[in-house]
Structure 1
């Protein structure tokens, strides 16, 4: 089997500072409600939960999608 099989590159878009646990939970909750194809809705829903000092584009559609993809890659599946 090739060593690259099953490996995914994370697409990094937007700010590189880490998201807070609260922001990640808000993102996951919003995706559960809106789905992972409606990033406009997800982005709007979580903007009020930004940590102080975040830039205006912190919850851009692309950044939300990228962060959600990263969360899926780094989260272990339940056993």
Structure 2
């Protein structure tokens, strides 16, 4: 388990500010449409939905993948 947590910390790159609910929903919707292996398409699709003042690399491919992974870890599966 400790190794998994360490790996996750290495994958977390990019901005440290929290994503808005809207940005998270756009990310999840884009992944649903493009798949979780096509981060180029996901990143491009959600850039227009950035909150004002976000840096240009806010929706980088690595940051999108990292945020999606975090969302999966913190979301409970429906029973």
Same fold (TM over 0.5): yes
Question: Aligned partners of 1:15, 1:60: CA distance in 2, in Å?
Answer: 10
- Structure (1 or 2) with the greater helix fraction: 2
Deviation (angstroms), 1:73: 0.2
| TM-score, normalised by the number of residues in structure 1 | 0.87
Residues 6 and 57 of structure 1, relative CA distance in 2, 3 Å threshold: closer
Q: If the length of structure 2 is used for normalisation, what is the TM-score?
A: 0.87
Q: Could you say which structure has the larger radius of gyration? A: 1
Residue deviations 1:2-34 (CA, integer Å, cap 9, x gap) = 998999768311100000000000000000000
Cα distance change, pair 13–3 in 1 and its aligned pair in 2 (3 A)? closer
Aligned length: 79
Structure 1: where are the runs of 5+ without partners? none
Matched-pair contact (CA < 8 Å) for 1:14–1:58: yes
Structure 2: 5+ residue runs without aligned partners?
none
CA distance 1:10–1:2, shift in 2 (3 Å): closer
TM-superposed CA distance for 1:41, in Å, is 0.1
